[in-house]
C-alpha cells in the first residue's frame, strides 16, 4: 500500500446508473483542474459522444483479460454484464502530476480502492427517488430497453451498499448537489492529517525565531 502524500485526495464517486454522477464529476473536473480524472478501461462499447482515452479506454475482452492476468488493475469488477477497471498506471500518473484523483467507479471498485487506500474518500450520489432515476436514465437515451431494465434492476442492489461510503450527496437540483459535492472536496483538503507536515514545519520555524533573547535582538 502506498501512503497518500499529505494533500493528495483520492475521491471516489459512485451512484446507481442515471443518478447524475457523470454530470457532477464533469463539473468537478472543470473546477478542480489539479484533480486528475481516472480514465477506466471497459469492455463496453463507446456511446456516440464518447472518445477513446477521454471517458474510457475502450478495450476488447481479450485485452481486458490480459490486463487482469498481468495485474495491471488496482481494481476491477463486472458491472451491468461488462467489465470495468482502474489501471494502476492511472493512479501512478495522478500521483506524479496532480493533487488528487477522481474515480467514477461502482461500489465493488470503491470497496477495493478503500481496501488498498484507506484514506480514499467515498461519495455516494443518490437520486431523489427511483421514479426520477428511471426518468433520467431514459431521458439520457443512451441505453437499449434491455440495458435500461438491467440498470434499473441493479439500482437497489447498488443503493444497498451505501454503507461503504463516507458521504451521501442527493442529486435533486443540480446546482445544489454540485455545491454539496464540491464542499466535500474543499473540506477533505482541509483535513488536519493532510496538513501535518505543514504544521510541523511552522512549529520548527516558530521555535527558531522565539528562542529567548533572539526576539529581543540579542544574539
Q: Please give the residue ranges that form the binding site for ligand 5GP (CB under 6 A).
A: 14, 17, 40, 44, 75, 77, 79-80, 84-86, 104-106, 108-109
End-to-end, the C-alpha distance of the chain in Å comes to 48
Residue 154 C-beta-side C-alpha neighbours within 13 Å = 19
Closest contact distance (angstroms) between CB of 75 and ligand ADP is 18
Give the residue from 40, 34, 63, 62 showing the smallest Cα distance to 52. Answer: 40
Closest contact distance (angstroms) between CB of 152 and ligand ADP is 12
79 binds, among ligand 5GP, ligand ADP, none (CB under 5 to 8 A by kind): ligand 5GP
C-beta of 130 vs 202, nearer to ligand 5GP: 130
140 binds, among ligand ADP, ligand 5GP, none (CB under 5 to 8 A by kind): ligand ADP
Torsion of the alpha carbons at 113, 115, 116 and 122, rounded to the nearest 10: 40
C-beta of 4 vs 127, nearer to ligand ADP: 127
98 binds, among ligand 5GP, ligand ADP, none (CB under 5 to 8 A by kind): none
Q: Say how many C-beta atoms besides its own lie within 10 A of residue 65's C-beta.
A: 13
**DSSP H or E stretch at residue 74:** strand 73-79
Q: How far apart are CA 211 and CA 219, in angstroms?
A: 10
Give the residue from 55, 41, 19 showing the smallest Cα distance to 181. Answer: 19
CB proximity list for 71: less than 8 A, separation 6 or greater: 88
19 binds, among ligand ADP, ligand 5GP, none (CB under 5 to 8 A by kind): ligand ADP
Which single residue brings its beta carbon nearest to ligand 5GP?
Answer: 109
C-beta of 108 vs 148, nearer to ligand 5GP: 108
Q: Which residue has the cell 488536519?
A: 192
106 binds, among ligand ADP, ligand 5GP, none (CB under 5 to 8 A by kind): ligand 5GP
Closest contact distance (angstroms) between CB of 132 and ligand 5GP is 17
Q: How far apart are CA 173 and CA 127, in angstroms?
A: 10
Closest contact distance (angstroms) between CB of 99 and ligand 5GP is 21
Binding footprint of ligand ADP on the chain (CB under 6 A): 15, 17-23, 136, 139-140, 171, 173-174, 177
Amino acid at each position: 500500500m502506498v501512503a497518500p502524500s499529505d494533500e493528495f485526495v483520492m475521491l471516489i464517486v459512485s451512484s446507481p446508473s442515471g443518478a447524475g454522477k457523470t454530470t457532477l464529476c464533469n463539473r468537478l473536473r472543470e473546477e478542480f483542474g489539479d484533480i486528475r480524472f481516472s480514465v477506466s478501461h471497459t469492455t463496453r462499447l463507446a456511446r456516440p459522444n464518447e472518445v477513446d482515452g477521454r471517458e474510457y479506454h475502450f478495450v476488447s475482452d481479450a485485452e481486458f483479460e490480459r490486463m487482469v492476468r498481468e495485474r495491471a488493475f488496482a481494481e476491477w469488477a463486472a458491472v451491468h454484464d461488462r467489465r470495468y477497471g482502474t489501471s494502476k498506471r492511472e493512479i501512478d500518473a495522478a500521483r506524479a502530476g496532480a493533487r488528487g484523483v477522481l474515480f467514477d467507479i461502482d461500489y465493488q471498485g470503491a470497496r477495493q480502492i478503500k481496501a488498498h487506500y484507506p484514506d480514499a474518500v467515498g461519495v455516494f450520489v443518490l437520486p431523489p427517488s427511483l421514479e426520477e432515476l428511471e426518468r433520467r436514465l431514459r431521458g439520457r437515451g443512451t441505453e437499449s430497453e434491455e440495458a435500461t431494465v438491467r440498470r434499473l434492476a441493479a439500482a437497489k442492489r447498488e443503493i444497498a451498499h451505501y454503507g461503504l461510503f463516507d458521504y451521501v450527496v442527493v442529486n435533486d437540483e443540480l446546482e445544489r448537489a454540485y455545491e454539496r459535492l464540491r464542499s466535500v472536496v474543499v473540506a477533505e483538503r482541509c483535513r488536519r492529517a493532510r496538513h501535518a507536515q505543514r504544521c510541523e514545519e511552522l512549529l520548527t520555524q516558530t521555535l527558531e525565531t522565539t528562542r529567548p533573547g533572539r526576539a529581543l535582538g540579542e544574539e
